[in-house]
Structure 1
Amino acid sequence: MNPFEWLFDATLTIGDQQILWREIVGNGFGLASALGGLRRKVWAWPVGIVGNALLFTVFLGAVFHTPNPVNLLGQAGRQLLFIAVSIYGWIEWARHRHASADHVAVEPRWASWKVRVALGLGMVGGTLALTPVFQALGSFEPVWADAWIFVGSFLATWGMAKGWTEFWLIWIAVDIVGVPLLVSAGYYASALLYGFYGVFTLVGFITWSRIQRRSRGVTTVP
């Protein structure tokens, strides 16, 4: 068995539970990407893409005949969206770093109120629109939670690419729903990482807010 076959099929057994190693490795790449985003590093994007590719196969358990034969279509589909938006973010951050005098990949900024309202409406409206679609395709219950995670993940990644500090708050909203959904679906490694992400994203929000205050001399958050 070559290394790629081993990575695809290998599992970690904990009690009576089997966890795919590619779920663990994929989430590890995701965590590294989040750390890179916190530090505003361009490498955060390609590292995240590797994790997305691995997790895409994990969340189609019934399709790939994994030990956990559960399809989370929102979770799987968002990996493809991640890859597409990450390519955009990678280009934008690299371009900004090249043009910046201090070689910073992104300057954190607050989104306008118009954008904030659009993000909120997008979260709710997108969830309502996709829930019946995912339900018809056979996604895991509760389907609205899978749709919420799908929409929120897209908006958060887009916000990160644009440099909006609010993207960290969207991730928190995703994590709050994501942890119980993943536990109920049997994706324990991802649920554990989601729980950690929830704390990490709060730290990220505080860090980016402080960067804004230092760079603009602002002492209060709008």
Structure 2
Amino acid sequence: MNWLNSEAFTLLGQRIIWSDMIGNIFGLAALALGWRRSVWTWPVQFLAGLVLFTAFYGHLAGSAGKQVVVVLVALYGWWQWQRGKDRTTDGHIAVRFATWRERGAMIAAAAAGTVAVALLFKAFPSLSWDPWPDAYIFVGTVVAMYAQARGMVEFWFAWLLVDLVGVPLNFANGYAFSGFVYVIYGALVLWGMRDWWLRSRTAPALEGAHA
């Protein structure tokens, strides 16, 4: 499997690695499926996490750890969406806005988690070259995927905040394909956010049941 971390080609002077490219293609597919509220977003996300773990392992501990979280939360999301209690009449998952209590809890968890993980990385420098942004990406991904698994529209906002740090970090550490593909991610996130936002407004009864 060493070929996964070998160079595939060069794009605009940037070295493109096989694992970085393949993992992000899976990631794009998973995001598109998430936009469509298809339960298949989770097994595809699971595969993306496995491949990207091989890309980051040994270089960016936070990004590699993020992929472990992606794999675990993908299993949780698959289980959560398969339960079917939050499905709409078209067979897809129902979406909603988080309550203010849920938002507060996620923000607090993201802040405390980022500090804790960054301090861990600083205590063990071999784990990360960039402790604070790496910790931010790691924890932000956990929060975003949890919100997605719960069908919260805020999932899209969380991904945008993660991407604002993740894109420059990927370019700076030689993962150019990740940087390039996140431009496409940005467009999908904005479209997906709009779609989930509108759909959440069409089911006030369901939202009230979750409040």
Q: Percent identity?
A: 37
User: What is the number of equivalent residue pairs in this alignment?
Assistant: 205
Q: Which residue of 2 aligns with 1:43?
A: 40
Q: Superposition pairs for residues 24-35 of structure 1, below 5 Å?
A: 24-35=21-32
Q: Which residue of 1 aligns with 2:135?
A: 147
* Larger RCO, structures 1/2 (Cα 8 Å, 6+ apart): 2
Q: Which residue of 1 aligns with 2:72?
A: 84
Shift of 1:200: 1.8
Shift of 1:96: 1.0
Shift of 1:141: 4.0
Q: Which residue of 2 aligns with 1:113?
A: 100
Q: Superposition pairs for residues 175-214 of structure 1, below 5 Å?
A: 175-214=163-202
Residue type matched to 2:49 in 1? N
Q: TM-score, normalised by structure 1?
A: 0.84
Find out whether 1:122 has 2:109 as its counterpart: yes
Find out whether 1:12 has 2:9 as its counterpart: yes
Task: Give CA deviations for 1:98-138 in whole Å, capped at 9, x if unaligned.
Answer: x8472523210111111101111111111111112123142
Shift of 1:46: 0.4
Q: Which residue of 1 aligns with 2:54?
A: 57
Q: TM-score, normalised by structure 2?
A: 0.88
Shift of 1:15: 6.2
Runs of at least 5 residues in structure 2 that lack an aligned partner in the other structure:
206-211
| Separation of aligned partners in 1, 2:2 and 2:66 | 24
| Separation of aligned partners in 1, 2:183 and 2:166 | 9
| Separation of aligned partners in 1, 2:180 and 2:14 | 14
